[in-house]
């Protein structure tokens, strides 16, 4: 079992790819959605309840993915599960410093936990929740980078015109 923590604000295909690949290694993956992050300047677009709801819908077909949320220190949360591994995705060397710092801090807080990194697939190395929000806010297309249900929620958040499919009542 591994805990995959993050803001997931919102979940992207980059995150989903990591979860699907992690399921080849671990029997269960807990997607742990943080109420707050270490970066105080980061305000979330979606509430934690909205992020949980979207993630549950996205992973509905994968019973070995448990969607949960946590408050406070990640190591305390992971310590309450049976997991000993914290899973994180790495897109580029620019992610390394932040991740190395976080993994080292977590290990100094709890020596029994370790962080495992997976390289993001080449198809998603440029995808981040931050860029998805920026593109969506400016009316750009994010379909193909996030699941359709999330693209729709982004449009609603930014009060952009709904797609034709939505207007005629398509569910996707
Ligand atoms: O997706 P993100 O925003 O990069 O995820 C960061 C997250 C939520 C994993 C990190 O901020 C976190 O673990 N926050 C909980 C507080 C904590 O444990 N901080 C100590 C680690 S430096």
Per-residue pLDDT reduced to its tens digit, 25-63: 999 999 999 997 767 667 899 999 999 999 999 999 999
Q: How far apart are CA 49 and CA 69, in angstroms?
A: 9
Q: Name which residue sits closest to atom 4 of ligand 1, judged by CA.
A: 6
Q: How far apart are CA 149 and CA 89, in angstroms?
A: 23
Tell me phi and psi for residue 75, to 5 degrees. -60, -35
166 vs 123, higher pLDDT: 123
Distance from the alpha carbon of residue 64 to the mean position of ligand 1, in angstroms: 23
Strands (E), the chain: 2-6, 29-34, 65-70, 85-90, 114-119
Q: How confident is the model at residue 170 (pLDDT cuts 50, 70, 90)?
A: very low
Q: How confident is the model at residue 168 (pLDDT cuts 50, 70, 90)?
A: very low
pLDDT digits (tens, 9 = 90+) for 116-127: 999 999 999 999
Q: How far, in Å, are 33, 101, 149 from residue 56 at the CA level? A: 11, 30, 12
Ligand 1 nearest atom to the CA of residue 70, by list position: 15
Does this model's pTM top 0.95? My answer is no
The residue whose CB lies within 8 Å of the most ligand 1 atoms, and thus the one to mutate among 2, 3, 34, is 34
139 dihedral zone (left: phi>0; alpha: psi -120 to 50; beta): left
Query: Mean pLDDT of all residues in the chain?
Result: 91
The reported pLDDT for the residue numbered 4 is 98
The residue whose CB lies within 8 Å of the most ligand 1 atoms, and thus the one to mutate among 36, 88, 102, is 102
Tell whether the model's pLDDT for residue 19 goes beyond 50: yes
Question: Nearest-CA neighbor of 65 among 101, 19, 100?
Answer: 19
Active site residue ranges: 15, 42, 91, 129
Quick one: what percent of the chain has pLDDT higher than 90? Answer: 84
Average pLDDT over residues 141-154: 96
Q: Name which residue sits closest to atom 20 of ligand 1, judged by CA.
A: 73
Q: How confident is the model at residue 92 (pLDDT cuts 50, 70, 90)?
A: confident
């Amino acid at each position: 079992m591994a805990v995959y923590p993050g803001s997931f604000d919102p979940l992207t295909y980059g995150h989903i790819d990591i979860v699907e690949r992690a399921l080849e290694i671990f029997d269960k993956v807990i997607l742990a959605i943080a109420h707050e992050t270490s970066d105080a300047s980061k305000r979330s677009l979606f509430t934690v309840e909205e992020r949980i709801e979207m993630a549950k819908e996205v992973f509905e077909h994968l019973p070995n993915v448990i969607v949960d949320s946590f408050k406070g220190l990640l190591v305390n949360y992971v310590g309450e599960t049976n997991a000993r591994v914290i899973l994180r995705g790495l897109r580029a060397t620019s992610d390394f410093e932040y991740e190395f710092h976080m993994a080292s801090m977590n290990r100094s807080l709890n020596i029994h936990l370790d962080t495992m990194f997976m390289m993001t697939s080449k198809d998603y190395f440029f995808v981040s929740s931050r860029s998805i929000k920026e593109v969506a806010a400016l009316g750009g297309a994010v379909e193909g980078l996030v699941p359709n249900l999330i693209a729709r929620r982004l449009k609603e958040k930014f009060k952009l015109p709904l797609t034709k499919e939505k207007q005629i009542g398509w569910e996707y």
